[in-house]
Structure 1
Amino acid sequence: MMGRGQWRMLKNWTLLHRRQTIIVLTLAFFIWTVTVVNFSTSMSQYGVRESEKLRKDVINLSEKYVKALARENEGIVDGPYAGRFTAYDLKKTIAVLLESILERLNRVEDQLFNQTMMNRNITRSTEASGIQAQDLLEGKNEQCELTKKDKQLYPQCTGKIEWMKQMWKSDPCYSNYGVDGSLCSFIMYLSEVEGWCPRSAWHGTSTVPKDDPTILLMANITTNIEPLMQMLVDPNERESYAWIRMRIRRIWDRWTKAVNSLAAKQDLSGRRQKKILVHLGLLSQQSGWKFAENQFKGGPLGELVQWSDLITTLYILGHKLTITSEVDQLKNILSKLPAANSPCQSRKELPVHIIYTDIVGLRQFKKFVKEGYGKFSCLLRIVDTFGTEPAFNHQQFAKKRKKSSSWGGQNLQPQQFFNMFPHSPDNSFMGFVVEQHLNDSLVNEIPRENQALVYGKNEYMWQAKTQYLDIINKSLEVHATVYMDERSDKETNTASTIIPSYVINHGFLNGEDLHTLLRQSKVFVGLGFPYEGPAPLEAIANGAVFLNPKFNPPHNRNNNAFFKGKPTEREVTSQHPYAEQFIGEPYVYTIDIGNEEQVRSTVQKILDLDTFQAYMPYEFTEEGMIQRMNSYIEHQNFCQFQRQPSKWPPEKAITLLFGEPNKSCKDVCWEKNFICEPSHFLRTNSMEALKQHGAPCSTEKVALDIFYPALDTRTNDCILQQDELLFSCVGKQENLRRLCPCRNYIKGQIALCQGCER
Structure 2
Amino acid sequence: MACKLFKLPRRQWLLLLLVALVLWGLLIVNINIGIVSNHDSGRLKNEVIRLSERYIRALARDNDGVVDGPYAGRFTAYDLKKTMAVLLENILERLDYIEHHLNISSNMTTLAQPARDGAVNKSNPVLAKDLIKGEEDRCVLSDKERQLYPHCQGKIEWMKAMWESDPCYKSFGVDGSICSFIMYLSEVEGWCPRSAWHGYNSVPTEKADHTNKANISTDLEGLMKLLVDPNERQGYAWIRMRIKRIWPRWEAAVTSLSQKQDLRGRRQKKILVHLGLLSKQSGWKFAEMQFKGGPLGELVQWSDLITALYVLGHQLTITSEAEQLSSVVSQLPAANSPCQSRKELPVDIIYIDIMGLKQFKKSVGNGFGKFSCLLRIVDSFGTEPAFNLHSFAKQRKKLTSWGGNDLHPQQFFTMFPHSPDNSFMGFVVERHLNESNVRDIKRTNSALVYGKNAYMWEGKTSYLDTVNKSGILIHGTVYSEDNKPLKLPAYVENHGLLNGEELHKLLRQSKIFLGLGFPYEGPAPLEAIAYGAVYINPKFSTSHNRNTNPFFKGKPTERELWSQHPYAEQFIGEPHVYTINIEDEEAVRTTVQKILDLDKFEGFLPYEFTEEGFIQRMNSYIEHQNFCQFQRQLAKWPPESSVKLLFGEAEKSCKDVCWEKNLICEPSHFLEANAHHSLMQKGAACAANKTLTDIFYPALDTKTNDCIIQQEELLFSCVGKQDNLRRLCPCRNYIKGQTALCVGCE
TM-score normalised to the size of structure 1?
A: 0.81
Of the candidates 522, 528, 539, which is equivalent to residue 528 of structure 2? 539
User: What is the correspondence of 1:375-386 to structure 2 with a 5 Å cutoff?
Assistant: 375-386=370-381
Matched-pair identity in %: 72
Distance 1:298 1:546 in 2: 22
Q: Does 1:696 align with 2:691?
A: no
Q: How does 1:475-494 map to 2 (within 5 A)?
A: 475-487=471-483
Superposed CA deviations along residues 414-465 of structure 1, whole A, max 9, x for unmatched, are: 0000000000110000000000000110000000011000000000000000
Partner residue in 2 for 1:648:
637
The SS at the match of 2:707 is strand
Distance 1:206 1:473 in 2: 69
SS of equivalent to 1:453? strand
Residues in 2 aligned to 1:518 and 1:336: alpha-carbon distance in whole angstroms = 48
Match of 1:163 in 2: 158
**What's the Cα RMSD here?**
1.9
Q: How does 1:430-441 map to 2 (within 5 A)?
A: 430-441=425-436
Deviation digits for residues 543-592 of structure 1 (CA, Å, limit 9, x no counterpart): 00000000121111111110111100011110000000000000000000
Structure 1 position 581 matched with structure 2 position 576 = no
* Corresponding residue to 1:181 among 176, 180, 188: 176
Q: Confirm whether residue 718 of structure 1 aligns to residue 707 of structure 2.
A: yes
Q: 1:740 to 1:644 in 2, by over 3 A?
A: closer
* Alpha-carbon separation, structure 1, partners of 2:486 and 2:189: 60
Paired with 2:208 and 2:364, the residues of 1 have a C-alpha distance of 31
Match of 2:334, SS state, is helix
- What aligned pairs does 1:438-477 form with structure 2 within 5 A after superposition? 438-474=433-469, 475-477=471-473
Measure, in 2, the Cα distance between the counterparts of 1:231 and 1:254: 20
Q: Are 2:554 and 1:550 equivalent residues in the alignment? A: no
Which residue in 1 is equivalent to 2:34? none
Q: Which of 633, 647, 651 does residue 658 from structure 1 map onto? A: 647
1:409 and 2:404 matched: yes
| Count, aligned residues | 626
Aligned counterpart in structure 1 of residue 323 of structure 2, from 318, 321, 328: 328
The corresponding residue for 1:127 is: none
Structure 2 alignment gaps of length 5 or more = 1-8, 16-69, 84-133
Aligned residue for 1:350? 345
Instruction: Report what 2:125 is aligned to.
Output: none
Secondary structure class of the residue paired with 2:437: helix
Q: Deviations over 1:138-191 (max 9, x none)?
A: x99774101111112211111111110110000001011100000000000111
Q: CA 1:166–1:460 in 2, change beyond 3 Å: closer, same or farther?
A: same
Question: SS at 2:208's partner residue?
Answer: coil
Compute the displacement of 1:86 (Å): 8.0
Q: Does the 8 Å CA contact 2:702/2:726 hold for their aligned counterparts?
A: yes
Aligned equivalents of 2:320 and 2:415: distance in 1?
Answer: 20
Preserved contact between residue 708 and residue 738 of structure 1 (Cα < 8 Å): yes
Distance 1:255 1:168 in 2: 50
Tell me by how many angstroms 1:701 deviates.
Answer: 0.8
| Residue of structure 2 equivalent to 1:500 | 489
Note closer, same or farther for the CA distance 1:611–1:79 as it changes in structure 2 (3 Å cut).
Answer: closer
Give 3-state SS (helix, strand or coil) of 2:727's partner. strand
Residues 409 and 468 (structure 1), Cα distance of their counterparts in 2 relative to 1, 3 Å cut: same
SS in 1 for 2:637: coil
How far does the alpha carbon of each residue in 1:200-255 deviate from its partner, in whole angstroms, 9 at most, with x for none? Answer: 11125411332222121000000011011011010000000000000000000000
Partner of 1:680: 669
The equivalent residue for 1:608 is 597
Cα distance in structure 1, aligned partners of 2:199 and 2:158: 24
Paired amino acid for 1:621: T
Q: 2:309 aligns with which of 302, 306, 314?
A: 314
| 1:418–1:465 Cα change, 3 Å | same
The residue that corresponds to 1:274 in the other structure is: 269
Note the C-alpha offset of 1:756.
Answer: 0.4
| 1:436–1:538 contact (8 Å) kept in structure 2 | yes
TM-superposed deviation, 1:646: 2.7
For 2:659 and 2:539, locate their aligned partners in 1 and report how far apart those are by CA, in whole Å. 21
Deviations 1:706-743 (A, max 9, x none): 00111111111111101000000011111111100001
Secondary structure, in 3 states, of the residue corresponding to 1:483?
Answer: coil
SS in 2 for 1:251: helix
* 2:354–2:379 contact (8 Å) kept in structure 1: yes
Aligned residues of 1:420 and 1:429 also touching (Cα < 8 A):
yes
Q: Could you tell me how far 1:643 is from its partner in structure 2? A: 4.4
2:732 corresponds to which residue? 743
Asked whether the 8 Å contact 1:217–1:273 carries over to 2, the reply is yes
Q: For 1:418, what is the secondary structure of its paired residue?
A: strand
SS in 2 for 1:340: coil
Q: Distance in 1 between matches of 2:730 and 2:143?
A: 21
Query: 1:235-246 to 2 correspondence within 5 Å?
Result: 235-246=230-241
Q: Does the Cα contact within 8 Å between 2:351 and 2:375 map onto a contact in 1? A: yes
Which of 569, 572, 582 is equivalent to 2:558?
569
Does the 8 Å CA contact 1:140/1:184 hold for their aligned counterparts? no
Aligned-partner residue type, residue 148 of structure 1 = D
1:146 partnered with 2:106:
no
CA shift in 2, pair 1:141/1:678, >3 Å: farther
Preserved contact between residue 701 and residue 726 of structure 2 (Cα < 8 Å):
yes
State the 1:83 CA deviation.
7.8
Alpha-carbon contact 2:650-2:727 (below 8 Å) kept:
yes
Counterpart CA distance in 2 for 1:395 and 1:206 is 32
Q: How many angstroms does 1:79 deviate by?
A: 5.2
Q: Indicate the SS of the match to 2:317.
A: strand
Q: Amino acid of the residue matched to residue 154 of structure 1?
A: Y
1-structure distance, mates of 2:479, 2:166 = 56
8 A Cα contact 1:347 1:641, kept in partner: no
The CA deviation at 1:698 is: 2.1
Cα pair 2:203 2:635 within 8 Å, conserved? no
**Of the candidates 192, 195, 199, which is equivalent to residue 200 of structure 1?**
195
Of 239, 248, 256, which aligns to 1:253? 248
Q: After TM superposition, give the deviation of residue 640 of structure 1 in Å.
A: 2.2
Q: Distance in 1 between matches of 2:595 and 2:325?
A: 51
Q: 1:140 to 1:593 in 2, by over 3 A?
A: farther
Kept in 2, the 8 Å contact 1:456–1:480? The answer is yes
- CA shift digits 1:661-713 (9 cap, x unpaired): 11100000000110000000000111111111111112211111000111111
Q: How far is 1:283 from its partner?
A: 0.3
Alpha-carbon distance between aligned partners in 1 of 2:613 and 2:687, rounded to the nearest angstrom: 47
Q: CA deviation at 1:392?
A: 0.3
Q: Do the aligned partners of residues 641 and 574 (structure 1) sit closer, same or farther apart at CA in structure 2, a change above 3 Å counting?
A: closer
Contact 1:665/1:676 (<8 A) preserved: yes
Give the structure 1 partner of residue 505 of structure 2. Answer: 516
Match 1:298 to one of 293, 302, 325: 293
Q: SS in structure 2 opposite 1:711?
A: strand
Find the residue that maps to 1:720 and give its secondary structure: strand
Q: Is the 8 A contact 1:193 1:641 kept in 2?
A: no
